[in-house]
Amino acid sequence: MPFIHVEVLEGLSTEKKQELVKEMTDMFVRIAGAPQERVFIFFEDLKRDNYARGGSLVSLLPPPSTAPAATGNEGK
């Protein structure tokens, strides 16, 4: 029986978590052949004060941009 552990920064809505649960379960059933009722998913919400990136606590960083990531193909 698969156990999937997901660590995310706090703030992910219940609706988004449910969407992730559905997609991850479906993917595991399809690829690994696991029965749906045997797929377990655990979320751990990380407090921003307990996580750092690039030498700074995430709680002190500016919020991430919501703009789409650059692909390198802009203007071609």
State the catalytic residues: 2
Tally of CB atoms within 10 A around 51? 13
**Which three-class secondary structure string do you get for 11-42?**
CCCHHHHHHHHHHHHHHHHHHHCCCHHHCEEE
